[in-house]
Chains A and B, each alone.
Chain A
Amino acid sequence: MEKFIESTEIRRKVLVTDDEVINREMLKMILSRDYDVDCACNGEEALNMLRQGSYSLLLLDLLMPVLDGFGVIERCAHDEQLKNVPIIVMTSEKSAEVKSIRMGAADFITEPYDMPEVILARCDRIITLSESRTIISSTERDDLTNLYTRGYFFAYINRMLPNIECNMDAVVINLDRFHLVNELFGRPEGDRMLRETAGLISERLVGDKGIACRTEADSFYVFCVHRDNYEEALVDIQREIEARTGAKSVRIRAGVYKNIECGQDVESCYRRAKTACDRLRGGFGAHTEVYDNDMHEKELFDERLISDFSRSLENGEFKVYFQPKYNIESDVPKLSSAEALVRWTHPEFGFISPGQFIPLFEKNGLIRQLDEFVWDKAAAQVKQWQDEMEFTLPVSVNVSRVDAFDPLLSQKLTGIIDRHGITRDSLLLEITESACSEDSARFVEIVNDLREKGFKIEMDDFGSGYSSLNMLTSIPIDAIKLDMYFIRNMLTDETAFRLVKLVVDVSDFLGVPVVAEGVEKQEQLTVLKAMGCEVIQGYYFSPPKPPENITALIEKEIYDERHR
């Protein structure tokens, strides 16, 4: 294998984005001397193409229809997949040069264009700089397992692929419940397991034509000669891991993308293998899953949703619904607040479940735009109810993980609050628990900052991540929202029941109210009330409804208040 890693000059791919066909043609002519050149005629098209192919450079015009160059730079900066693609902007404006460089562009080409040699030299310099930075930022080998690191792994595959005569597969391997080994037996034992696994992967799968890397904690990527069936090898590795480490709870799973073709974007093959691997998460059946047509269809559908997002937002296809929350401390439930939830009715696909598009938009950063849209609509609605009904119904909005770590978060929220003339405690912020487990120290800072500014914070999906109960004592929050999984299962699953009880007890001790989400039945309500849970949200009271339907509930509340 090592012999392939001797430098093989690869012809890199660059993307020219300009709405003027003549500029595109001219640049294509110039750049084709050294690169494979593709063209896009607006920003949105460029982003779609960047996501589908592996480009070494983006040349970008600034003034364009649909999505301009600045929009592209901003979207790339917040997109995990695209943030490392260097961008050269093409402009005749001095002020635009400075602005684009500040936003993250690597360089600029002035218009009218310089001599072709100058343009080629600038492109070459930026590509070299960008690639060296990637290589400098990572070392070749992973210290723990001695497998390759991710950056080198992909760089080597790209060099090897044109020279390999046999078919090669992309395999993503993961260890289910590995975190338990670290938690129960300590880090050294966890590290030992990773080393053993790496050794077994190299020995049983990689062979002398392949390579492997460790991408993150317990995730391995393998590039190996095609085989029809991986199950046997995986069962074998699983058995060996158990024998060598004694850990029975950990389970190995692998996703496979078969027959990578030369010229194909290698990273996307691994994304597909990972999609297949993720399907096996938490399962007990087969150890392997092959990326198939269904997954491909889903991927295409996802891409379509991403490309339709901006237009849909502009066309008003996204609507904000509200699901009421009731305080059940007294005999008559009292409407206490509502949660704002986004709904998408697509002109072609009809209603699309938030479960389909929200995780997708969380992955690529579009969620920020969507969340800001919801915050704005929710604040406007609070104000409208105040003006028209003289009733303040606080509305909680979701602040996704990406938003939580946005340095401009409190500024954006304050802007919305001020613009609509409402108070900070009428726009409640639901931050998901998993944001906390990502970087708990930073999370505490963010929450403290928001609370000091007068915002109320509710911790959403509590119990779904890895956060422990003692976290509640260290994080200053105003309410806990129990993950609906526990509520749905608490009448049939003893563990879920106990967890709900425990959270309610601890929260009661800390003086933080608990909101139970997903309550559908009278029995659930009765049990929760007996436990001391204060606020209920769920179909038992009402599904999420458009604002005009909530108005009727407010009218009823006003009537009840007068007659209480």
Chain B
Amino acid sequence: MKDIDKLKQFGAYTDEGLSRCFGNTDFYLKLVDMALADPNFDKLQSSLSNEDYSAAFEAAHALKGVLGNLSLTPMYNLASDMCEQLRPRQKVDCTAQAQRLIDLKKELETL
């Protein structure tokens, strides 16, 4: 069961994320769970392996928005970097970052 302390240890700026939810912890944690089910994680990986950089940019951009709003900072930073690299929608190697993002997602899931 996730709680705010575990999220803090994970590196999330929970105070900031919580304040966007008027301090409602349950609501915030529910949104974090929903974020983990976001189909853009899969879309990012599959579009990178298909070399569809336009779709990869869209997925990274969407994840950046969601992770930023929830202040899941370590993941947000990665999504943000990938977003900038993918912005020209041209071939770029960011599979390592994508893998790191998925690893962090898994880590968050097991909290």
Contacts and interface: CB of A to CB of B under 8 A. Distances in A.
A26 B58 CA distance: 21
Interface stretch (B2-10, B19-27, B99-107): B19-27
Interface string B82-105: 000000000000000000000000
B27 A19 contact: no
Given A20-B65, A92-B64, A112-B69, A26 B20 contact: yes
Interface of B is mostly: helix
A63 B34 CA distance: 20
Contacts of A111: 64-65, 68-69
Scoring A29, A33, A61 by chain B CB atoms within 10 A of each residue's CB, the highest score goes to A29
Given A22-B31, A63-B58, A29 B65 contact: no
Given A26-B31, A92-B68, A112-B69, A63 B19 contact: no
B78 interface: no
B62 A63 contact: yes
Given A63-B58, A112-B71, A22 B35 contact: yes
A112 B22 contact: no
B67 to A, nearest CB: 9
Given A22-B38, A26-B31, A116 B20 contact: yes
A169 B99 CA distance: 63
A21 interface: yes
Interface in B49-74: 58, 61-62, 64-66, 68-71
Contacts of B66: 20, 22-23
Given A20-B62, A63-B62, A112 B34 contact: no
Nearest to A19: B62
A113 B38 CA distance: 19
A25 interface: yes
A116 B70 CA distance: 13
- Interface range, A side: 10 to 19
A301 B70 CA distance: 42
Contacts of A33: 22
Contacts of B38: 20, 22
Contacts of A26: 20-21, 31, 69
A29 B27 contact: yes
B24 A22 contact: no
Contacts of A25: 31, 34
Scoring B16, B35, B38, B65 by chain A CB atoms within 10 A of each residue's CB, the highest score goes to B65
Interface in A66-105: 92
Contacts of A112: 16, 20, 65, 68-69, 71, 76
Interface string A102-135: 0000000001110110000000000000000000
B68 A116 contact: no
A317 to B, nearest CB: 27
A33 B38 CA distance: 27
Interface in A10-52: 19-23, 25-26, 29-30, 33
A272 to B, nearest CB: 39
A63 B58 CA distance: 8
Contacts of B34: 21-22, 25
A22 B37 CA distance: 11
A111 B66 CA distance: 9
Contacts of A19: 62
A503 B56 CA distance: 63
Nearest to B68: A112
Contact of A30 (B20, B58, B61, B64): B20
Contacts of A113: 20, 69
B22 A92 contact: no
A30 B27 CA distance: 12
B81 to A, nearest CB: 13
A33 B24 CA distance: 13
Contacts of B27: 29
A227 B46 CA distance: 64
A30 B22 contact: yes
A22 B19 contact: no
25 contacts: A19-B62, A20-B65, A22-B35, A22-B66, A22-B69, A23-B65, A23-B66, A25-B31, A25-B34, A26-B31, A29-B22, A29-B27, A30-B22, A33-B22, A63-B58, A63-B61, A63-B62, A92-B65, A111-B65, A111-B68, A111-B69, A112-B68, A112-B71, A113-B69, A116-B22
Closest 7 CB pairs between A and B? A112-B68, A22-B66, A112-B69, A111-B65, A22-B31, A20-B66, A22-B35
Interface of B: 16, 19-22, 24, 27, 31, 34-35, 38, 58, 61-62, 64-66, 68-71, 76
Given A20-B66, A92-B68, A112-B71, 15 more contacts: A21-B34, A22-B31, A22-B35, A22-B70, A23-B65, A25-B31, A29-B22, A63-B61, A92-B64, A92-B65, A111-B65, A112-B16, A112-B65, A112-B68, A113-B69
